[in-house]
Structure 1
């Protein structure tokens, strides 16, 4: 059983490793014979991002950031796994924007299986293989630090609290390890110590989702 599972993971990795530099298009890209095997999708325990202050802009190197997250850019959005999650971030009472086009390289005409299209906070997972995709991978693509007690430059301390909610329920683990599921509602709140922190109302999903 372990051997079969390992072969399945490697097979999925080969498919993900087969990328195209063609413009994003509606039909699936051909898999080249020289496809490179990449590491399996393993949920990271932290995000490789900058410990910077909000607001956080879209990075200008989406292909490089996707590679750091263990993701390969695609010539077209995948269809084997298609789901959406919503991310809301509040820092000291200020709602922070999740930028549009994280994970999209417009000059190259390629897209990561984990990306955004607009500033609604909706994260798209559109993969050519079934795999787990994590919040840590998304933050790596975004170039924002995230781990058990930090987002960007903001850390749990005597003066600040760091709270995470998933579907309006407190999440006590490392948020970077959160695996996306369809219509998951993720909220990250940084607030002064002593401030009451409660989850927001559920995200109102547009009809097309």
Structure 2
């Protein structure tokens, strides 16, 4: 199987995405009543699918908070891949490239975790310098910056953990979501809300992964 290693700084990841009028109010005329304001539909509760971007700043701290070291190159002792889908209120959330990658003042990658992404495919790369270590969904969310201290997920971190479901290879898991262990070619779907979502039991990994 052909393997493509990521070495810093010789090989660089793709550039990381950084990510009305008013007038003077007047009082209604005496004996009249103002028309009620039109009802505005309430926004769905929970995290917003438009604010799941990656902030490169603080990447080293997030990697360390996940219990992982910042490396100068991808490890070669362990190499496998899993895939993550995130669905919020029935809509997919893009998993950013560059999770688990630190960026220097020049904007170029200068460090990497054993647990990282190269692009927005949702493929999680596990490339470690030692074999046999356990990697979890919680560690990945920590590196992304989407894991709160109270067990909630997402940028707002105001959701109830009980509203989240994780599917691993098509099978639902509603407890210990952050403890899901990543394994080779796992298809993991992190789903929020009651809206129907298509959950695939497998992901078609590209040849060589």
Aligned to 1:121: 122
Asked whether 1:165 is paired with 2:167, we answer yes
Q: Deviations over 1:87-121 (max 9, x none)?
A: 00110111001100011123262111110000000
Summarize the Cα distance change of 1:62–1:156 in structure 2 as closer, same or farther, 3 Å threshold. Answer: closer
Partners of 1:59 and 1:102 within 8 A in 2 = no
Asked whether 1:78 is paired with 2:79, we answer no
Asked whether 1:177 is paired with 2:182, we answer no
TM-score, reference length from structure 1: 0.67
Summarize the Cα distance change of 1:185–1:120 in structure 2 as closer, same or farther, 3 Å threshold. Answer: same
TM-score, reference length from structure 2: 0.67
Matches of 2:85 and 2:77, distance apart in 1: 26
Between the two proteins, the alignment pairs up a number of residues equal to 159
The aligned runs of 1:40-189 (5 Å cut-off) are 53-54=48-49, 55-60=51-56, 61-107=58-104, 109-130=110-131, 131-145=133-147, 150-152=152-154, 153=157, 154-155=159-160, 161-189=163-191
How far is the alpha carbon of 1:204 from its aligned partner?
1.4
How far is the alpha carbon of 1:164 from its aligned partner?
1.3
Summarize the Cα distance change of 1:166–1:201 in structure 2 as closer, same or farther, 3 Å threshold. Answer: closer
Q: Which protein has the bigger helix share?
A: 1
Choose 1 or 2 for highest CA Rg: 2
Summarize the Cα distance change of 1:173–1:148 in structure 2 as closer, same or farther, 3 Å threshold. Answer: farther
Secondary structure of 1:139's match?
Answer: helix
Q: What value does the CA root-mean-square deviation take over the aligned residues?
A: 2.6
Q: Deviations over 1:4-59 (max 9, x none)?
A: xxxxxxxxxxxxxxxxxx94458xxxxxxxxxxxxxxxxxxxxxxxx964331112
Partners of 2:117 and 2:124 within 8 A in 1 = yes
Secondary structure of 1:179's match?
Answer: coil
Matches of 1:179 and 1:101, distance apart in 2: 21
Q: Which runs of 5+ in 1 are unaligned?
A: 1-21, 27-50
Matches of 2:150 and 2:170, distance apart in 1: 18
